[in-house]
Amino acid sequence: MDARRLIPSVERVLQLEAVKSFSQVYGRRLTVEAARQALEQVRQIIVQTGRILEEEEILQRIERHLHTVTTASLLPVINATGVVLHTNLGRAPLSEEAMAAASQVACRYSNLEFDLEQGKRGSRLIHAEKLLCQLIRAEAALVVNNNAAAVLLSLAALANRRKVVIARSQLVEIGGGFRIPDVMRQSGARLLEIGTTNRVNLEDYRSTLEQKPALFLVAHRSNFKILGFTAEPQVAEIAHVAHESGIPLMVDLGSGALLDTAEFGLAHEPTVQEMIESGADLVCFSGDKLMGGPQAGIVVGKRALIEKLRRHPLARAVRADKLALAALSATLLHYLKEEATQKIPIWKMISLPVDEIYRRAWAWTEKLSQLGIKASVIEGTSTIGGGSLPGETLPTHLLAIRTKQPQLFLRKLRENSPPIIARIEQNLVAFDPRTVLADEEAPLLAAIESLREFIL
């Protein structure tokens, strides 16, 4: 007899009490689909091995299918890499206040585009923008979906079919295929490249004036450095040349620091305020890099220019959503209240004293040692990441574990719930306490304990 005849029908499986209860939890549609898939596997196993699965095994398979399908694919992970702004790990985690602000407007109605005073239609653009102008002392501000959109919109609104001057040393690729020259072309602007790969001077800028460019663009070299025989005028000097001929200067600052990174032992990253003071007419930057807020693209500067951006049809296509606006406003408030280093997670991490990190790493080894697991503390470095401060590091102390196979151990950590992302240093599996949030400590140590068989 053909063994496949022993396979129950989907209808029969659906009659089983256990499957009925799956159906109550997961819904009928997913349960039927899971039963079909499980039975298909049963069929394949019979064909390949001749083995007939027990009912219990079939039920397990159905449940596993249901579990896999209904588990979210976007999950929180523990970042033990020490890379503060990890682009692959969602860049900046939000402050509690920013999260609360977003969740308040998420599941209720809000005055997103309603003027409460006048009782009529308002603008979504006022909420974060008032705070931005106050904080940066800029005339006007506009928030869009991300900084790439801010660059695209600005160029489309100010330089469509016209020339934009940019130094060859700034024709950068940010990552994920985002290349400044491509975005410039996409906006309809024509590139007017000046200088060489390593050097550009004021005369290069001046020599473009007879071609009547629409805009000067300065792009921050976010993710690399050029060293050696290099030259680049100050933004204030470029602004001077631009303004003599009535040409606006835009700075794509990328990371957009609002605090002075030099106060935290890092190189000085030009701040948004400095760029405005230097005479930039527009400055654009990301909300989720060094600002430490939600994904957003922020443009600040001259009112007349921002007005052109607002009125451009692309503005609607790249607008920010209400959750981001709420989180952004709450993040900006931290700066205005001068509590950024106490409240904004990435600034808490960046400003964490190194002996505090040492104490945390030691406390972890103690807890592990009580569980009979050997670990040590080694010196290392944390980085900022997220296309900010290339080559700059902060000293740190790492929890280090000797394992049989470090790569395998990293994989096991990634398979944990929640997944943990660590790194290998000196052939040891290393965890940087700097980027591990306080409430992630217990699950981190529990995960290490659960992998004790792989630890030497």
Q: Which residues bind ligand PLP (CB under 6 A)?
A: 146-148, 151, 174, 178, 219-220, 222, 252, 254-255, 286, 297, 387
Query: What would the two tokens of residue 249 be?
Result: 């200067």
Which residues in 135-177 belong to E strands, given as ranges? Answer: 140-144, 163-167, 173-175
Cα gap 51→188, rounded to integer Å: 64
Residue 128: which of 151, 101, 109 has the closest Cα? Answer: 101
Hey, is 92 helix, strand or coil?
coil
Give 268's DSSP letter: P
Give 178 or 264: the residue with its C-beta nearer to ligand PLP: 178
User: Hey, what amino acid is at 396?
Assistant: T
Cα gap 78→416, rounded to integer Å: 10
* Shortest distance (Å) from residue 126 CB to ligand PLP: 22
* Shortest distance (Å) from residue 268 CB to ligand PLP: 16
> Residue number with the shortest CB distance to ligand PLP?
254
Q: Which residue has the tokens 């069929």?
A: 43
CB 168 within 8 A of CB 184: no
Query: What would the two tokens of residue 60 be?
Result: 């397990």
Cα gap 437→99, rounded to integer Å: 15
Give 122 or 345: the residue with its C-beta nearer to ligand PLP: 345
Give 231's DSSP letter: B
Residue 364: which of 350, 376, 355, 356 has the closest Cα? Answer: 376
CB 400 within 8 A of CB 438: no
- Cα→Cα distances 217→254, 293, 302, 307, Å: 13, 25, 15, 19
Cα gap 156→148, rounded to integer Å: 12
* Shortest distance (Å) from residue 20 CB to ligand PLP: 48
Give 211 or 224: the residue with its C-beta nearer to ligand PLP: 224
Alpha helices in 245-370 (DSSP H): 272-277, 303-311, 314-317, 322-336, 340-343, 345-350, 354-370
β-pairing, 297-301 with 140-144? Answer: antiparallel
Q: Which residue has the tokens 């990328």?
A: 254
Give 8 or 390: the residue with its C-beta nearer to ligand PLP: 390
Query: What would the two tokens of residue 95 be?
Result: 């402050």
Give 31 or 222: the residue with its C-beta nearer to ligand PLP: 222
Cα gap 314→319, rounded to integer Å: 9
* Shortest distance (Å) from residue 235 CB to ligand PLP: 14
Give 288 or 425: the residue with its C-beta nearer to ligand PLP: 288
Give 31 or 286: the residue with its C-beta nearer to ligand PLP: 286
Cα gap 283→285, rounded to integer Å: 7
Give 42 or 83: the residue with its C-beta nearer to ligand PLP: 83
Give 299 or 430: the residue with its C-beta nearer to ligand PLP: 299
β-pairing, 376-385 with 388-401? Answer: antiparallel
* Shortest distance (Å) from residue 447 CB to ligand PLP: 30
Give 153 or 375: the residue with its C-beta nearer to ligand PLP: 153
* Shortest distance (Å) from residue 270 CB to ligand PLP: 11
* Shortest distance (Å) from residue 178 CB to ligand PLP: 6
* Shortest distance (Å) from residue 168 CB to ligand PLP: 15
* Shortest distance (Å) from residue 192 CB to ligand PLP: 19
Query: What would the two tokens of residue 387 be?
Result: 């296309």
* Shortest distance (Å) from residue 151 CB to ligand PLP: 6
